[in-house]
Amino acid sequence: MKIKCIAIDDEPLALRQIADFILQTPFLELVEECKNAFDAMEVINKEHVDLMFVDINMPGLNGLDFIRSLDQKPEVIFTTAYSEFALEGYKVNALDYLLKPVGYAAFLKAASKAKSYFETLEKASLNASDDEYLFVKSEYKIIRINLNDIKYIEGMREYVRIHTLTMKPVMSLMSMKSLEEKLPSDRFMRVHRSFIVNLAQVTTIERNRIIFDKDVYIPVSDQYKKKFQDFINKHFL
């Protein structure tokens, strides 16, 4: 497989170096070199991009804010001269972090990590039944979650927290809207701006609240009340 890449850096020499490293690496394909985040946005809107090598410290819109601004995010490897940005890169689910000046050995190690990630994702996609499993990226891992095991999903700004019957809650960087679109609508329902529930796990409802366990009360907001009430009426004896 070829991983389609763009390099983004406001320093011409650093940009050329990363671009040359991409060209030297057999499993990478250079789509474009971008001098700033705004040029990169134009490329992403026109071309398919799997992976971005992004400088953090750029004028105008820095690399971290650029990543946060994207709805559909290619995977990211950050490049920067400042090691203190490593934690911030982790917070936006970057695959890796390269400290300038970047040597080819370090670049290849990070690129190989990205290759392993994409291969795992591809295998997971081929082996999964769309009706039964959901694959999410959490930290540096891909986690398979059985849809039947999901109790509810909680939105937390840029993240979602998936609560299940069989494992501790899984945090992933994605929007509620994008997750809602991927879940089967006959099995999952959004009942609040911050909550999606597995309808098969709904057992107790009290005063427009769904009760999970003893201390979890999920409100049904006015916006979603009619749709949820229709579901109850359909199954009411």
Q: Mean pLDDT across the chain, nearest whole number? A: 87
The pLDDT of residue 121: 74
Q: How confident is the model over 182-222, as pLDDT tens digits? A: 898 899 999 999 999 999 999 899 888 999 877 889 999 99
Verify that 110 and 204 share a domain, yes or no. no
CATH code, 194: 2.40.50.1020
Return the structure tokens found at 37.
Answer: 């985040």
- What strands, in cross-sheet order, belong to the sheet with 51-55? 28-34, 3-8, 51-55, 75-80, 96-99
Q: How confident is the model over 63-82, as pLDDT tens digits? A: 888 988 887 789 999 998 87
Q: How confident is the model over 97-121, as pLDDT tens digits? A: 899 999 999 999 999 999 988 887 7
Spatial distance between the Cα atoms of 51 and 38, rounded to a whole number of angstroms: 16
Give the global pTM: 0.62
Per the rule left: phi > 0, alpha: psi between -120 and 50, beta: everything else, 106 is alpha
Verify that 105 and 12 share a domain, yes or no. yes
Cβ–Cβ under 8 Å, residues 95 and 52: no
Verify that 169 and 104 share a domain, yes or no. no
Domain, as residue range, for 186: 133-234
Where a domain ends, among 89, 104, 127? Answer: 127
Verify that 8 and 98 share a domain, yes or no. yes
Verify that 103 and 153 share a domain, yes or no. no
CATH code, 81: 3.40.50.2300
Where a domain ends, among 127, 153, 182? Answer: 127
Verify that 163 and 226 share a domain, yes or no. yes
Domain count along the chain: 2
Question: Which one, of 191, 221, 193, lies nearest residue 201 by Cα?
Answer: 191
**Bridge partners of 77?**
53, 96
Verify that 164 and 194 share a domain, yes or no. yes
Around Cβ 117, how many Cβ atoms within 10 Å?
Answer: 20
Verify that 144 and 164 share a domain, yes or no. yes
Q: How confident is the model over 5-49, as pLDDT tens digits? A: 999 999 999 999 999 999 999 999 999 999 999 999 999 999 999
Verify that 45 and 140 share a domain, yes or no. no
Q: How far apart are the first and last CA of the chain?
A: 54
Where a domain ends, among 127, 147, 174? Answer: 127
